[in-house]
Structure 1
């Protein structure tokens, strides 16, 4: 009888150790997916940042007196490049998106600029990059959701607490972009 009891206890211990190892490895995998998905956003932001100087030079030739808009785009680009965490990157990215919208609004006033093939190509590439950034943000938030759920749900929350797995921050849009747009005719 004692041998059976010892075997049962050993099996239970092996099962518990295996469960802890599985939960720990799952948390590590999810944390690494969060880091990887943030790096993908970073790659797309760098691509956009690399395109902006070319776009600015093209616009400068046509709209030299629109200095304020060009400086705003340059400053916003620098903020994105200097961001060190998700919150800073999100805020800087939103600032840059707004500055680029202003730049394209200025371009509407210059028919020759709109017809310029370099400008059109850069605008298309930026638009494609914006789509990729949007997808990368969405993917990042999906991965953060899975990771945060694992950090909060029982019993993996116990393992997360013991081994120092902390929740990650979502990439969020600013409040002004969440408002319903007002349409007037």
Structure 2
């Protein structure tokens, strides 16, 4: 009697609906959602890396101009920082390209170049006591130091998120989903230099 009261399309859809009710919990329990979940976590971690690198890039123009006011004859060093910043900001890597080794290497190289240029710039400030006492420079120094720490944390979190995601693609049972369903899922690239080996600008002049 109840079946006769249902519209004909509902009766036809009932087996499919019941099948979904049974299968979906099984899929979740077997790790079906693990790959997309870990992928999104890795992408979110990468977005934070980009945010912190951009934060550093935003500080550099004011830092360069402050140093220029006291050490204008250090033109070569100042220009190298400006050029390195331009290259770093032009070399972008959206989350969707994290599985491209060439693009990832280009991005990492550009940021490493900027780190080196900043280190050289900050090294020359040791020769200018008046600059080191300038309040604007001291404020920029504190902001840069905080940003470098944030970059290190963001990189660490990304490295861990990628480790988990890449491992998920290679281990059972998620490897079955990778081969049968998430066929487009590819391992993400990771930083090639260990975090504890990264040379960051030394900004403590005390």
Pick the TM interval, shorter chain. 0.7 to 0.9
Matches within 5 A, 1:61-80: 61-80=69-88
Match among 28, 31, 53 for residue 36 of structure 2: 28
Match among 185, 188, 196 for residue 168 of structure 1: 188
Stretch moving more, 52-61 or 155-164? 155-164
5+ unaligned residues in a row in structure 1: which ranges?
A: 1-10, 180-185
**How big is the shift at 1:17?**
7.7
**How big is the shift at 1:90?**
1.6
So what's the TM-score if we normalise by structure 2? 0.73
Q: Say how many residue pairs are matched.
A: 166
5+ unaligned residues in a row in structure 2: which ranges?
A: 1-18, 94-103, 200-206
Q: Which runs of 4+ in 1 moved over 3 A?
A: 14-17, 19-22
So what's the TM-score if we normalise by structure 1? 0.81
**Distance in 2 between residues matched to 1:178 and 1:97, nearest whole Å:** 9
The residue that corresponds to 1:50 in the other structure is 58
Superposed CA RMSD:
2.4
Q: Would you say the 8 A contact 1:73–1:99 is kept in 2?
A: yes
Q: Would you say the 8 A contact 1:20–1:159 is kept in 2?
A: no
Match among 131, 139, 149 for residue 131 of structure 1: 149
Q: Which has the higher helix share?
A: 1
Matches within 5 A, 1:10-159: 14=22, 18-19=26-27, 22-85=30-93, 86-159=104-177
Deviations 1:45-70 (A, max 9, x none): 11111110000010011111111111
Q: Would you say the 8 A contact 1:27–1:150 is kept in 2?
A: yes
